Structure formats: structure tokens, C-alpha cells
Amino acid sequence: MFDSLDETMKHDDQEQTTPKERWMRYVVTAVISIVVVGGLLLSIRMLE
């Protein structure tokens, strides 16, 4: 169990992303969230 955990931690350390990639992931997640929430709000208002 601990051997596989150690190997996993080493593998995760090697897969470091750049700050630009991390920020792009945050921006894309925020845009998708806003579109989904906006779509839900718009559909609720159209039903009323």
C-alpha cells in the first residue's frame, strides 16, 4: 500500500503544470459555471 502511494506521489510531482495552464483551467471552469448557472436562471424565468 505504501509503495504504491509513494510511487503515486512521485508521479504527481513530475506532472506539475505551469501557472498559465492552471489559470486557464480556472478561467475555463468559471466561464462554464457562469454559462450553466445563467442558463438555469434564464430557463426558470421563462417558465414563470
pTM summary value? 0.61
What is the residue range of 27's domain? 18-48
pLDDT tens, position by position, 1-48: 556 877 777 776 666 778 888 899 999 999 999 999 999 999 999 998
pLDDT number for residue 18? 82
In a domain, 6, yes or no: no
In a domain, 27, yes or no: yes
| 3-class SS of residue 1 | coil
Grid cell, residue 40, equals: 438555469
Total structural domains in the chain?
A: 1
Residue 23, amino acid: W
DSSP per-residue string spanning 10-23: HHHHHTPPPHHHHH
Query: Would you give the end-to-end CA distance of the chain in angstroms?
Result: 55
pLDDT number for residue 41? 97
Grid cell, residue 30, equals: 468559471
Rounded-to-integer distance, Cα 41 and Cα 47, Å = 10
